[in-house]
């Protein structure tokens, strides 16, 4: 296996971690926005408690994706950041607002009685709204990388900087990212809560979230016929492509049935499976392109750089994974155990 392929694989794995962990933190923010019913306050507190200790660590997966991308595949990075300047800038604004507002809310010095009043309410709102907005922009940029419109020169500003992402397919991918993140979060949250009423709230949200996410996945697949023909072809007409689509469908179904029957461990496993299969299906379907049609994984940095990055990543992983395990064991120990029982 070539160095380029290994590094592209590491980027995909990092992106998967970002979606499964960091994505769920955004999804939790979505449920903070849609907290309703008699337990609305408890729902918001469950969200804050769940993501508090871990969201900053989860966020770093995105930084890792970006840094490895610009080191190993500078052409793809330059292309993405030039042509998708607008949605990436919007995503960054969302990232800044989400993170800052959450920190302001959590670490402000106010008595508990004022938790839902005044400035606290503003931070909560900003946190929740940007948790909805940011994943849409992230998904939109991923859709644009797959769409086949990024390469060469275009004549007008709109063709160059707007049309590649402002189209039904890319926006549908944005909504798919949002609904998948929300779905993931609801499944994690129902595992984390001990209160029966609250767990039912999140179970209902998981059922709805899962259904909407499955619909969005179907819509993206249909729209990809015109929106991302290269990816569509590989998914629909190759054996492994059809296999991936089948795996996504099966895990979605398994997740739905498990949630219905309140078998939360298998719901957890199938949800993670569904999201992972979607991501990997997309990545395989656009092989060997990183950005269609402008950059492939062969447009990589020279070998000494790739070797150094790989060594850095391997040594870094030796520090990272034990630390991450420790973080999760301390704060999520009971949940991990319950999921593994």
Summarize as ranges the residues that interact with another protein (CB under 8 A).
52-54, 56-57, 59-60, 62-64, 66-68, 70-72, 74-75, 77-82, 85, 88-89, 92-93, 95-97, 99-100, 102-104, 106-109, 157, 161, 301-302, 304-305, 308-309, 312-313, 316, 319-320, 323-324, 326-327, 330-331
- Beta-strand runs (E) in 183-294: 289-291
Closest residue by Cα to residue 273 from 9, 16, 28: 16
Looking up tokens 């039904």 gives 168
Closest residue by Cα to residue 98 from 133, 127, 57, 69: 127
Cα–Cα distance between 230 and 166 in angstroms, integer? 19
Nearer to another protein, 257 or 315 (CB): 315
CB of 83 to another protein, least distance (A): 9
Nearer to another protein, 220 or 309 (CB): 309
Q: Please say whether the beta carbons of 9 and 107 come within 8 A.
A: no
CB of 62 to another protein, least distance (A): 7
H/E element, 296: strand 295-296
Nearer to another protein, 2 or 89 (CB): 89
Nearer to another protein, 246 or 298 (CB): 298
Handedness of CA 146, 68, 317, 61 (dihedral sign): negative
CB of 316 to another protein, least distance (A): 4
CB of 95 to another protein, least distance (A): 6
CB of 291 to another protein, least distance (A): 12
Q: Please say whether the beta carbons of 152 and 57 come within 8 A.
A: no
Nearer to another protein, 103 or 247 (CB): 103
Question: In 3-state terms, the chain is what percent helix, strand and coil (to 5)?
Answer: 80, 0, 15
DSSP label at residue 298: T
CB of 250 to another protein, least distance (A): 34
Q: Please say whether the beta carbons of 146 and 294 come within 8 A.
A: no
CB of 177 to another protein, least distance (A): 17
Nearer to another protein, 173 or 300 (CB): 300
| Residues 233, 220, 215, 162, Cα dihedral to 10° | 180
- Within the chain, how many helices (H) and strands (E) appear? 14, 2
Nearer to another protein, 279 or 309 (CB): 309
Closest residue by Cα to residue 284 from 238, 224, 322, 328: 238
Looking up tokens 């590989």 gives 234
CB of 161 to another protein, least distance (A): 6
CB of 149 to another protein, least distance (A): 16
Question: 292: which 2 tokens?
Answer: 């269609």
Nearer to another protein, 239 or 318 (CB): 318
Nearer to another protein, 17 or 264 (CB): 17
Handedness of CA 189, 190, 191, 195 (dihedral sign): positive
């Amino acid at each position: 296996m070539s160095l380029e392929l290994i590094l592209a694989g590491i980027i995909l794995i990092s992106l998967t971690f970002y979606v499964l962990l960091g994505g769920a933190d955004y999804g939790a923010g979505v449920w903070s926005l849609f907290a309703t019913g008699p337990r609305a306050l408890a729902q918001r507190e469950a969200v804050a408690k769940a993501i508090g200790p871990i969201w900053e660590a989860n966020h770093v997966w995105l930084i890792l994706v970006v840094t490895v991308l610009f080191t190993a595949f500078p052409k793809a990075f330059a292309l993405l950041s030039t042509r998708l300047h607008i949605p990436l800038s919007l995503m960054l604004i969302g990232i800044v607002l989400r993170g800052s507002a959450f920190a302001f809310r959590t670490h402000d010095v106010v008595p508990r009685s004022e938790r839902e009043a005044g400035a606290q309410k503003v931070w909560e709102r900003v946190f929740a709204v940007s948790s909805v907005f940011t994943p849409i922009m992230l998904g939109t940029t991923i859709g644009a990388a797959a769409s086949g419109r990024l390469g060469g020169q275009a004549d007008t500003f709109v063709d160059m900087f707007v049309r590649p992402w402002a189209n039904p397919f890319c926006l549908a991918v944005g909504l798919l990212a949002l609904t998948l993140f929300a779905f993931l979060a609801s499944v994690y949250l129902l595992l984390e809560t001990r209160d029966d009423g609250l767990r039912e709230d999140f179970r209902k949200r998981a059922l709805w979230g899962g259904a909407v996410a499955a619909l969005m996945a179907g819509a993206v697949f249909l729209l990809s016929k015109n929106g991302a023909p290269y990816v569509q072809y590989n998914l629909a007409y190759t054996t492994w492509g059809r296999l991936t689509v089948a795996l996504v469908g099966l895990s979605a179904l398994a997740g739905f049935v498990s949630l219905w029957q309140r078998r939360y461990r298998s719901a957890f496993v199938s949800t993670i499976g569904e999201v992972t299969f979607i991501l990997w299906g997309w990545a395989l379907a656009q092989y060997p392109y990183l950005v269609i049609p402008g950059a492939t994984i062969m447009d990589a940095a020279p070998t000494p750089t790739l070797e150094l990055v790989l060594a850095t990543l391997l040594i870094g992983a030796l520090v990272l994974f034990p630390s991450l395990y420790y973080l999760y064991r301390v704060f999520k120990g009971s949940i991990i155990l319950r999921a593994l029982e």
